Amino acid sequence: MNLEKFYPIFLHQPQVAVKRIHKLFHYLLSHNYEDCTPLNLSSTLGIYHHLNTITRIDFVWSCPLLHHYMLTLTIFDAYDIHISDHNPIITYFDASLLSDAIKSARARQLGRNTQRVFKYDSISTEQWTAFANDLDALCPIDPLVFDAWPLNQKCEYLHSRIIKVAKSNLPSVTVSNTYTPKKPITGQKVKNQAPIGYQSGS
């Protein structure tokens, strides 16, 4: 599939993408941060704190609603450009997964009782090939033009075309709005062991 030349994160499996949060854990633990989660008295909110008062990231704490949509993150060194005395953590989320998470609520607001769920575990090689080919044909924009777009426009462009092609090529079922899809085993394991989102603060 040639879609990766536009926006590679949309091709990554959620259970693979979620592993990238370990980059943050590794950074924190290798820079003398301590896991203070037990002090927080919460099983769903993780906190990392640096005891050194001159650190540029004092606290990093999680957001239970966002951490499983995290794709990657960067700790930005603001010291050299003198814009802050703290280092912000720039985090990227998969907008398509965030959109799916609120789809049921939107459907209920509109009075809809059902939603479409794609059966990714039942896709044959032929169906995936047809999906990939049709998606490539539906994304003819020049990559240089695409790269110049704002992130929201990129997400909307890809999301609308992915859904359109998926509806015509991939197996799906119609379920009630009370249906909760199963999370990937790896993603669920990471969620249980290390729930984290991001935040920087003073």
pLDDT digit string (tens) for 52-96? 544 444 455 445 455 555 555 565 555 555 555 555 566 665 556
Distance CA 50, CA 56 (A): 9
Domain ranges of the chain: 2-7+95-181, 11-94+188-193
Model confidence, pTM? 0.38
Which tens digit of pLDDT belongs to each residue from 9-22?
433 434 444 444 45
CA 187 to chain centroid, in Å, comes to 11
Residues in the chain: 202
One-letter amino acid for residue 123 of the chain:
I
Which tens digit of pLDDT belongs to each residue from 118-170?
777 778 888 888 888 898 898 888 888 888 887 778 878 888 888 888 888 88
Residues in Cβ contact with 19 at an 8 Å cutoff, skipping those fewer than 6 apart: 186, 190
Helix axes 151-169, 125-137, angle to 10 degrees: 140
Conformation bin of residue 58: beta by default, left when phi > 0, alpha when psi is -120 to 50: alpha
